[in-house]
Amino acid sequence: MAGFQIRLVAQVFDKPSFSLSSHPTLEIMSIEKWEDQTVVNIRVKNQRISGRFCFDKETFLVNSLGSEEWKLTSMDGIPACPDQHRFKSIGEVLDFSLVFPAIPDEVKYIDLREGCDDDCVSVKYILLDEEMNARINDGFNLYEIGRLSASLQVFEDIMEAGFDNYSPVFGTLYLYMMSIHYELGQSKEIRRIFNELKESTIIGRDEFIETARDTGLVR
């Protein structure tokens, strides 16, 4: 059967970096790019008494840097609104998957947009780059075990090696570095990085600036 090929293994992006999210307890655990579909695996943690969650059928992946969009084709582990999953306790997690058509390999940033009228999910600038995601996750892992200076060094090294004053991922790194300096009590460094962000031409710059202010990193 010469010429017949099938991709038996998906390209998997484990815990891909993303920049801005409407739901702080929502995590993208992985994105699987198959030849015929894209699967987004998500985890959400309940923070409310009698919390509920669902996903609208009118949900899309969108090319963050273009106009293409891919509509949700199916979902697994989560009811379609108006049906709802009812959490039994605070802290309970729900794992589920959203399935979309295949995304071209040249698309490196995508947004997840839920089409609804209230409390809609929006996740922006999800990075589809295995190497960069792995390096960012290294920094996160150091942060989570309290090695703040080592984590900061990882993010600074990424910036130094690849900063292009354009890609949204560097806006994310600015926020991470400001957060670490905040925990270290280094207000002058926070202001320095914030000023660099303001002077940059990164895609989504104004949103990153607003997020830094909304989270109290700067005034």
Where does residue 125 rank: exposed (0-12), middle (13-18), buried (19+ CB within 10 A)?
A: buried
Where does residue 106 rank: exposed (0-12), middle (13-18), buried (19+ CB within 10 A)?
A: exposed
Question: Whole-prediction pTM value?
Answer: 0.87
What tokens were used for 211? 């997020």
Side-by-side strand order, sheet with 26-33: 11-14, 26-33, 38-45, 93-100, 74-76
Give the percent of the chain with pLDDT over 90: 82
Q: Tell me which residue of 72, 77, 79 sits closest to 112, measured CA to CA.
A: 72
pLDDT category, 157, cuts 50, 70, 90? Answer: very high
pLDDT value, residue 78: 94
pLDDT of 53-73, one tens digit each?
999 999 999 999 999 999 999
Q: How many CB atoms lie within 10 A of CB 198?
A: 14
Taking 3-state DSSP, the helix, strand and coil percentages for the chain, each rounded to the nearest 5, stand at 30, 25, 40
Q: How far apart are CA 42 and CA 35, in angstroms?
A: 20
Residue ranges of domains in the chain, CATH in brackets: 11-127 (2.60.40), 130-214 (1.25.40)
pLDDT of 190-218, one tens digit each?
999 999 999 999 999 999 999 999 999 99
Residue type, 80: A
pLDDT category, 1, cuts 50, 70, 90? Answer: very low
Pick the residue with more confidence: 51 or 186? 186
